[in-house]
């Protein structure tokens, strides 16, 4: 019984640590027009890439299942 209780108390803590997030947005040019095909990268502060994607025809992008942490978002076109 003690083992089950300990496990039940630890599971919520693991769930908090395992949370992931999504980052979505739009990439626009200086005139406010969408930039389709722009390369969007999410990188750790030390430069390692976490995820990358390209914008759609409306300049939108979506990065899913992003682990909790601090990142830089870079865009190139």
Give 20-69 pLDDT, tens digit per residue: 999 999 999 999 999 999 999 999 999 999 999 999 999 999 999 999 99
**Torsion-angle region of residue 59: left (phi > 0), alpha (psi -120 to 50) or beta?**
left
Full set of structural domains in the chain with CATH: 21-76 (2.60.40.10)
Tell if the pTM clears 0.75, that is, is over it.
Answer: no
27: how many CB neighbours lie within 10 A of its CB? 21
């Amino acid at each position: 019984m003690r083992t089950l209780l300990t496990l039940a108390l630890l599971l919520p803590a693991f769930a908090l640590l395992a949370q992931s997030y999504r980052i979505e947005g739009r990439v626009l040019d200086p005139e406010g027009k969408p930039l389709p095909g722009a390369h969007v990268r999410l990188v750790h502060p030390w430069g390692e890439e976490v995820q990358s994607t390209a914008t759609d025809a409306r300049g939108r992008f979506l990065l899913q299942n992003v682990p909790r942490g601090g990142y830089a978002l870079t865009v190139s076109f």
